[in-house]
Amino acid sequence: MPIYRCPRCLATDISADAHPTRVLRGAIEVQDVMVCRGCYRAAELEFRIACETSGLPYAPQSIREGLRRLAFFYRDRLAAWSAPELLVDDADRDAATRPIRVALEDVERRLRLAVLEP
């Protein structure tokens, strides 16, 4: 069964509860990563400090961009579970993908909300 662990703490399965953040690799390469709820604030702070240290301007990630990245992440997780080479009973597959589908539906619902104009 595909399990996706937080790359920061390696302890938490983030298949249905991921949080988008960024990591600075090298001096200028920004890489998008998904982390667990417990690592999100620390990872975002590390990114901010890395940007300031290397002289790159730090800009918080927009909510809509984070939601888009989450939607792609959850769709990839569902695709991994539906792969034909994954020999899993249909009932087990349904039970394993249910939390991912719920998380994806929530993200898509939030993406459909209109932006309020000031």
- pLDDT per residue over 20-79, tens digit each? 999 998 878 889 999 999 999 999 999 999 999 988 899 899 999 999 999 999 999 888
What number is the average pLDDT over the span 74-100?
84
Separation of CA 92 from chain center: 23
In terms of average pLDDT, the best of 93-97, 106-110, 113-117 is 106-110
Cα of 3 vs its chain's centroid, Å:
14
Contacts of 58 (CB under 8 A, 6+ apart): 47, 48, 51, 52
pLDDT of 69 reads: 95
Q: How many residues does the chain have?
A: 118
| pTM summary value | 0.84
- Per-residue pLDDT tens digits for 45-60: 999 999 999 888 998 9
Q: Domain coordinates of the chain in residue numbers?
A: 19-112
Task: Give the contacts of 16 (CB within 8 A, at least 6 positions apart).
Answer: 74, 77, 99, 100, 102, 103
Query: What is the C-alpha separation between 84 and 38, in angstroms, rounded?
Result: 33
